[in-house]
Every structure is written in C-alpha cells, then in structure tokens.
Structure 1
Amino acid sequence: MKLKQGIGVVFNVKDINRTEKFYKDILGIQVERQSGGDEPDWLMATLGNGVELMFFEGEEQIGRSPIIVFELEDGYMETVLESLSEKGVEIVNPVSEAPGGWSADFKDPDGHPLAFYQLGSLPLK
C-alpha cells in the first residue's frame, strides 16, 4: 500500500449553506462549492501543506465525522482492504463511488472513522 502526501478531513454536516457561511465568513477560510453532478453540492477548502477539508450534507452521517481520509496512489483498493481485514481491521463500508473516484471506510482500534480515497476509475486487479 502506498499513500499520497497530504490528508483530507471529511465532515458530514446538516446544512451545507450554514457550513459554507461559517467557514467563509466567520473563520475566513477559502471554501469552494463543488458541483456533485447528480449528487448534491459539497464544499472543499485547501488549507496548504496537503490538508483539505471537505463538507458533505447528509442526515444519516451526522455524528460520524470528521473522518480522516488517506489518498491511495496506484493499486487496487480492494486488495488493500482485504489485507487490512486479514489483520483484524474493521471495514465499515467497502469500496464505493465518491466524487471523482472511489472510497472505503474503516476504523482504527479505538473506533475512530478513517477512509481511503483513490482518484479516477477503479484500477483492475
């Protein structure tokens, strides 16, 4: 497994407009609205040093964030998840589509939510 430099922090929020106003107007962070195509809009802020904040609206996820997201380089994400599972890591959500790529959620030993993200189309085995 090879991780890219940088880290993404994903927040699940109740109201995307309220969140945008808070981070832009109150904290002064440059937040950009992203079009989700068929999916609802979401927000992204690049803080520098490879740190990105992403905000998605969705009631079912409230209270289960932020999630630290590690971006994978080339490789087959399902193989990485199989390896983690064999080592006793709890896989919460298998590989699924995400904006611009693929993601999968898992937990650390204390139950903290973590995820992998891979840009583009899912590589073949």
Structure 2
Amino acid sequence: MFGKSKLGTVCYYVSDIARTEMFYRDVLGLDVERMEDDGDGHTWLMARTANGVELIFFQQDSRPGNSPVIVFDLPDGGIDNVVTALASKGTTIVTPVSHAPGGWSADIADPDGHTISMYQSEDHPRSLK
C-alpha cells in the first residue's frame, strides 16, 4: 500500500518550540520556518532537507516512544480509501482521517504500537473512485 509512496515528513513532538527552532536553525544550520496552524493558532516549525523530506515540529507532550512519527505522502489523494483498506486488514486506526495543516492526515499503529502517519494535500480528493 505504501510501496510507491515516498517518505515525505518526519514529525517530532517537542517540549519547547523556541528551543527547538534555535537548535535546528543555529546548531544544525537548517532553514526553519515558523508556521501558524490555520485551525487553532498554535505555532509549529517546518524544515526541508536536501532530499525533500520535511521535518516538522509540534509542541506537545514529548516522551520517548511517541516521537518521531514518519509520515507517508499520498500524492494522488484517496486517504479515505487507504484508511478503509487498512482497517479491513485489521490495522489499528489511531487517528481517523482529520484536518491537518494544508490537507488531511490519519495515523495507524504497527504491531508494536509505533505510529505511522499518512498525509495528503487538500488539492486532491479524499476518496478515489
């Protein structure tokens, strides 16, 4: 199902967004952008790597085991179909399809409980026929 999807994003939950911004910008030398979530007004960060993988950072409870989360891009859309197909195979749906900055996302768990996420841009349909 994800065999032809590229890894698009690695999502980190961090305890201090300002400290994280300074580290990734000033220490690692990444171009870090501050973003405003259009839904709740919380600030989050995005840094793009040379190979196109984005690192995004959200301030929330951060503890070993809940971060980072890998995110597969769904470039053609159809996130509703993908989640339905995964559920039919017995996959645990952690977060159903929900609004995310600029699109839609959903989270599943692997057999050990690790979160795997998927994202699609709002430019594509949620369901494919």
The residue aligned with 1:108 is 110
> Runs in 1 of length 4+ with deviation above 6 angstroms?
none
Change (3 A) 1:10 1:24: same
Structure 2: which 5+ residue stretches go unaligned?
none
Per-residue deviation, 1:78: 1.5
The residue aligned with 1:51 is 53
Per-residue deviation, 1:122: 6.5
Is the 2:7–2:71 contact (alpha carbons within 8 Å) kept by the matching residues of 1?
no
Aligned-partner residue type, residue 29 of structure 2: G
Q: Distance in 2 between matches of 1:7 and 1:122?
A: 16
Counting aligned pairs with the same residue, the percent is 50
Normalised to the residue count of structure 2, the TM-score between the two structures is: 0.84
Q: What SS does the aligned partner of 2:91 have?
A: coil
Is the 2:77–2:121 contact (alpha carbons within 8 Å) kept by the matching residues of 1?
no
Q: Is 1:33 matched up with 2:34? A: yes
Structure 1: which 5+ residue stretches go unaligned?
none
Q: Distance in 1 between matches of 2:41 and 2:7?
A: 25
How many residue pairs were aligned? 123
Kindly report the root-mean-square deviation, in angstroms, between the aligned alpha carbons of the 2 structures: 1.9
